Structure 1
Amino acid sequence: MKKMALWEKMVLWFLAIIVLLIAFLVIVFYSSSYIANRPNFTIQELPEAHLNQPYYAKIEIEAAIIEEAVDIQVSNEDIMVEPKVYESHKDIYNKPVYRADYSNLTITGTPSELKPITIKLTGSTYGSMFVGKEFEKTYTIEVLE
């Protein structure tokens, strides 16, 4: 068997290091793109409601939500889920322009039935360096007497 020269060994080590570096960068890129822009819901469960008593809860989503992509479905007409509305700027006639912030939701109402209330949130986040993510979260509010 022929012995390898020193320069041949160095070339092999160099190529091995390049391959490992590329593999490392690919793994880091894919793992960070999986985690990036993923919405984080600050509360996982909503508090219980009581029959014929006012209900109030807040849900905050830690992500930039696309307003047009949000769909909110509530199983009970007595409960409303509304985004935070704020004045974003004034138009050329100095009239306020309002925007809805779907990352800050308020749940209000007075339940009139003793059955659980489901709230389903679906939507998308804005992309930045990575592609935006879609989300779907379902909350259940237990109604007690």
Structure 2
Amino acid sequence: MKYLIFVLIFVVSGCASSSPTVLPEKSELTVATVNHKYRNIIEIKGRAVNESSVSVSITPSDSGLAWSPEEIKYSFGGEDGVNKDYHRIIISGIPKKSGDYSVTISGFTLGTMHSGKDFYKKYAIKVKQ
């Protein structure tokens, strides 16, 4: 009987599917300054994502900021390369004007043993003079 309960708990826990987490949890990123370099990282944790499953937009579009996935350099079998990690989104650049900017990140995780899950998060960036 104990064996049957253990097996049932194991099977049911395998069916549980957690939602992805987008970090930082708060909805504001660090304050930026006009004409100074800015860099911040947004992380997607908990599930698999790739280039096709992540969308990032920064407003205003002429903000001077851009996004990119983190690039991880590797060397294997005598060849060098770069992998793009869409779990770590880098927001960087030089803000052009003061004001309130926003970064919206959305998408879906890829289904492996479980079906994928949608995610959405909007961040604010204050840009001071």
Measured after TM superposition, the shift of residue 118 of structure 1 is: 1.2
| Aligned with 1:109 (options 72, 93, 111) | 93
| Structure ranking higher on relative contact order (CA contacts 8 Å, 6+ apart) | 2
- Supply the distance in 1 between the matched residues of 2:116 and 2:21 (Cα, whole angstroms): 13
| Aligned with 1:81 (options 67, 77, 82) | 67
Query: Does the residue aligned with 2:16 lie in a helix, a strand or coil?
Result: helix
Query: Does the residue aligned with 2:110 lie in a helix, a strand or coil?
Result: coil
Find the structure with the greater CA-based Rg. 1
2:82 aligned residue? 98
Gaps of 5+ in 1: 1-24
| Aligned with 1:67 (options 48, 51, 54) | 51
Query: How much identity, in percent, do the aligned residues show?
Result: 27
Is the 8 Å Cα contact of residues 53 and 110 (structure 2) preserved in structure 1?
Answer: no
Is the 8 Å Cα contact of residues 90 and 96 (structure 1) preserved in structure 2?
Answer: yes
Is the 8 Å Cα contact of residues 55 and 109 (structure 1) preserved in structure 2?
Answer: yes
| Aligned with 1:47 (options 23, 30, 48) | 30
1:137 aligned residue? 121
Alignment of 1:126 with 2:110, yes or no, is yes
Give the direction of change, closer, same or farther, for the CA distance of 1:87–1:53 in structure 2 (3 Å limit).
closer
Gaps of 5+ in 2: 1-8
Higher strand share: 2
- Supply the distance in 2 between the matched residues of 1:127 and 1:47 (Cα, whole angstroms): 33
- Code of the residue aligned with 2:31 in structure 1: it is E
Is the 8 Å Cα contact of residues 49 and 142 (structure 1) preserved in structure 2?
Answer: yes
RMSD: 2.6
- Code of the residue aligned with 2:36 in structure 1: it is Q
Measured after TM superposition, the shift of residue 42 of structure 1 is: 2.4
Q: How many residues align?
A: 115
Q: Normalization by structure 2: what TM-score?
A: 0.73
Give the direction of change, closer, same or farther, for the CA distance of 1:143–1:82 in structure 2 (3 Å limit).
same
Is the 8 Å Cα contact of residues 48 and 142 (structure 1) preserved in structure 2?
Answer: yes
Query: Does the residue aligned with 2:52 lie in a helix, a strand or coil?
Result: helix
Is the 8 Å Cα contact of residues 88 and 98 (structure 1) preserved in structure 2?
Answer: yes
- Supply the distance in 2 between the matched residues of 1:97 and 1:52 (Cα, whole angstroms): 33
